[in-house]
Amino acid sequence: MRGANVLVVDDDASIRAVLVGLLTQGGYAARGVESGERALETIAREMIDVVVTDVRMPGMGGMALLSALVTSFPDLPVIVISAHATVPMAVEAMKLGARELLMKPFDRKEVLAVVERTLSASVDAPPSIPIASCLAGTSRAMTELGDLVGRAAQSDATVLLRGESGTGKEVAAREVHARSARKKGPFVAIHCAALPETLLESEIFGYEAGAFTGATHRKPGRVELAAGGVLFLDEIGDVSVATQVKLLRLLQEREYMPVGGTHVHEARVRFVAATHRDLEAMAGRNEFRSDLFYRLNVLPIWVPPLRERLEDLPMLAERFCREAAIRNGVRMPRLEHDAVAALASRDWPGNVRELQACAERLVVFADSDAINASDVDRDAQRTKRKSSDPPVDSSSLDDHVIDAERRAVRDALARASGSRTLAARLLGVSRRTLYNKMTRLNVS
């Protein structure tokens, strides 16, 4: 992640200079601005990978900036700096969409660790899907899902969301929260697969001052930040057996102890977990604890793949095209019936998220006021090698792959008039992934 562009937002020139200096020494391309307004101007014209912002600033404060970024740049991670012991402020930041928190006072190692962790988690994070779009549909599968989500929301029992990648499990988790009595409390997500085991425990449970070298102050964990709301444990099937033991106590006893702590704390949260893995098979191989599985599997909800809800595809495609047109400031092309039929004939291994990316490409690449089957066929040809292409010499396979990637990236950037954010959407990858490809492929 070294070389990533970090924007520091703080009205205090001395703190701003310290943070920029620390990040620059750590190998990042860091720069600072003094206000939320300046931050938005900078992000609109420059390639920024992560934002680090203070909360209290004249004019647009950190919370207002965070809210604006979540709305306009949902895939841009934001780290919020909070004063020591202001846990309510930290909770509010998490509710608004902050990815990480830096508690004052902070030291060099902590700053670098938080920025690196945030960037690592966003490398392959897929673009966001609006709740209404992902869970919309009149098919039997979606009707049943909506009913189960509504029933689950009215209880306080643990929910386990299961299904393939790209089906919208996190969106369903947020819908459980939004329909529940805890909707005014925070929704705090932790992506278990994105954190190494050494950090996962302290992120979930927090730590006390002196718990380890560099722990100069107490830091609340996600359990504490989610108090009164929902703690979402994403990709729960990817945690180690050692961490599973600690999670079992958390779910079973509803209590936890921060790293380095001596007092037990009550977990005042509702648990929602998600996984694409076969937990039963993993339990049979002793890779996942059976007792933890039973604690998680109280209210199991399966989110259906797109191929099992093809009746919803016309409505989803229409909605995604409309959203893409609004987002990109272009006129909405008409989606012809033959185009919908062509879309319905595809496999969609990436599910709803893949359909969203396809719709954006169709809208941006549209040559007329209508999208038809030939446009859908051309999109399929752009996104995979033609079956009629001559066999590739295995000795030069890597070169062919690199050339194909370079052409795809350049084509997307050209179509997006140089906008990296739009180009990433057209390619169906995160901004960070696009930046990594541009660097690796030497594309400017």
Burial 309-327 (b: 16+ CB within 10 A, else e): beebbbebbebbbebbbee
Least confident of 227-241, 248-262, 263-277, 414-428: 414-428
Q: Which domain CATH number covers 357? A: 1.10.8.60
Could you tell me if 166 and 231 lie in one domain? yes
Q: Which domain CATH number covers 221? A: 3.40.50.300
379-393 residue pLDDT tens: 888 776 443 444 444
User: Residue 101's Cα: distance from chain center in Å?
Assistant: 16
Q: How many CB atoms lie within 10 A of CB 277?
A: 15
Could you tell me if 292 and 416 lie in one domain? no
Could you tell me if 159 and 277 lie in one domain? yes
CA distance 205 to 261: 10
Could you tell me if 22 and 118 lie in one domain? yes
Q: Is 207 exposed, middle or buried (0-12, 13-18, 19+ CB in 10 A)?
A: buried
Q: Which domain CATH number covers 74? A: 3.40.50.2300
Query: How many domains does one find in the chain?
Result: 3
Could you tell me if 256 and 356 lie in one domain? no
Could you tell me if 298 and 313 lie in one domain? no
pTM for this one?
0.67
Could you tell me if 39 and 180 lie in one domain? no
100-136 residue pLDDT tens: 888 777 778 888 988 988 887 665 444 444 444 456 7
- Domain end among 250, 284, 304: 304
| Structural domain boundaries enclosing 233 | 131-304
Mean pLDDT of all residues belonging to the chain: 84
Listed in sequence order, the residues at least 6 apart from 105 whose beta carbon sits closer than 8 Å to its beta carbon are: 84, 216, 217
Could you tell me if 298 and 314 lie in one domain? no
Element (H, E) at 50: strand 50-54
- Domain end among 122, 147, 168: 122
Element (H, E) at 371: strand 370-371
- Domain end among 122, 143, 158: 122
Tell me whether strands 265-266 and 255-256 are parallel, antiparallel or unpaired.
antiparallel
SS3 content of the chain, % helix, strand, coil (to 5): 50, 15, 35
Cβ atoms of 260 and 208 closer than 8 Å: yes
Could you tell me if 268 and 346 lie in one domain? no
